[in-house]
Structure 1
Amino acid sequence: MSMYEKGFPYMVKVKAGETVHLCQCGHSKNPPYCDGAHGAYPSGEPLAYTAQKSETLRICGCGKTGNMPMCDGSHNRS
């Protein structure tokens, strides 16, 4: 299953100062985290996101967001 076939966001809890590498190519076998699959696809390098505060990130699981890789609620629009 593709990262974007989920149809709704992945919820990722991060702590202040923590860095996560988020998939933007859609081919990771461990979504929403990068596993290096982008090397075989030209569709996107990972985003290294460093949290400024402890929070829960909403990572796109539908592929329709206008703010990749963050969810913008596009999965709710028809």
Structure 2
Amino acid sequence: MSDEQPVIAKPSPYAIEVEGGRNYFWCACGRSNTQPFCDGSHKGTSFSPVKYTAEKTEWVWFCGCKQTGSPPMCSGRHKTLD
């Protein structure tokens, strides 16, 4: 298991309106220039994007700090970061 840590892209969640039935790939490494989604910047790291399929069209909160306990959604862990 790698001890590599993700980059904190944003110390709060990203509110995104998702489209029902569409797949989204959440950036787990924090290096993507298209946050909160993957742009391939994880290549060469131990990270992989997390696939999220929207069940319906709605607003959801994707994790920005990359420390969530329930990827790819925000779990509120950003509130405990220094």
TM-score scaled by structure 2? 0.77
How far 1:45 sits from its partner (Å)? Answer: 0.9
Q: CA RMSD in A?
A: 1.9
Greater share of helix:
1
Runs of 4 or more, structure 1, over 4 Å off, are none
For the residue of structure 2 that corresponds to 1:38, the secondary structure is coil
For the residue of structure 2 that corresponds to 1:12, the secondary structure is strand
Counterpart residue type for residue 20 of structure 1: Y
How far 1:27 sits from its partner (Å)? Answer: 1.1
Count of residues paired in the alignment: 76
Contact 1:3 1:61 in 2 (8 A): no
Q: 1:30 aligns with which of 34, 37, 41?
A: 34
Q: Distance in 2 between matches of 1:35 and 1:28?
A: 5
How far 1:3 sits from its partner (Å)? Answer: 5.8
Aligned to 1:75: 78
Unpaired runs of 5+ in structure 2? 1-5
Percent of aligned pairs with the same amino acid: 39
Aligned to 2:50: 47
Change (3 A) 1:70 1:50: same
Q: Distance in 1 between matches of 2:67 and 2:37?
A: 18
How far 1:68 sits from its partner (Å)? Answer: 2.3
